[in-house]
Amino acid sequence: MDRQQNKTDATLIPLDRPEAEMEPKQNKINAILKTLEGSSADITNVGLISSDGIILADLNDPLLKGSAGLAAILNSLALRLTNALQIGAFLETHICTEQSDLLLFDIKTETTLLFDEKQQAILVVIVNHQGDIDAARCNARTAQTQLKKVLAQAI
């Protein structure tokens, strides 16, 4: 896959086109993930998992297999910690390792009476450790917003 080196802004998928409404959600999700992955050569993998660890989309299958559940648990713990500390709404987790940076973005789509927001999915982004993490994070936040809109749409 050809990737554009150090592109700082992910291109928005035009979700407001009339034909986009007829397109299946999975196609829209895959298009958003492909755009994110192609936005920087530093992004080595992207995926979308449910809050209970089920892989919804993974461009580089099988990288997330076996670890999706762990990512969901970590995200859940971060959500609980921010709630317990009462420091505001949880948005993302960044884990830095020797080889890569792992970014987990919470995707919330529904407000309820019992909870401020319901978590529906987690965007997983793996970035080369020596790469431009700030550009990757910016592009991932754009994808997070797009995915939130797609997941909120009725089936």
Q: Map out the domains of the chain as residue ranges.
A: 27-152
What long-range pairs does 63-70 form, CB within 8 A, spacing at least 24? 63/126, 64/124, 68/124
**Mean of the per-residue pLDDT values of the chain:** 78
In CATH terms, the fold of domain 27-152 is Beta-Lactamase (3.30.450)
Directed axis angle between helix 25-38 and helix 133-152, to 10°?
170
Judge contact between 124 and 50, C-beta under 8 A: no
pLDDT class for 147, splitting at 50, 70, 90? very high
What tens digit of pLDDT does each residue of 110-143 get? Answer: 644 444 455 578 899 999 988 899 999 999 999 9
The model's pTM is 0.75
Element (H, E) at 55: strand 55-58
What tens digit of pLDDT does each residue of 20-50 get? Answer: 555 688 899 999 999 999 999 999 889 998 8
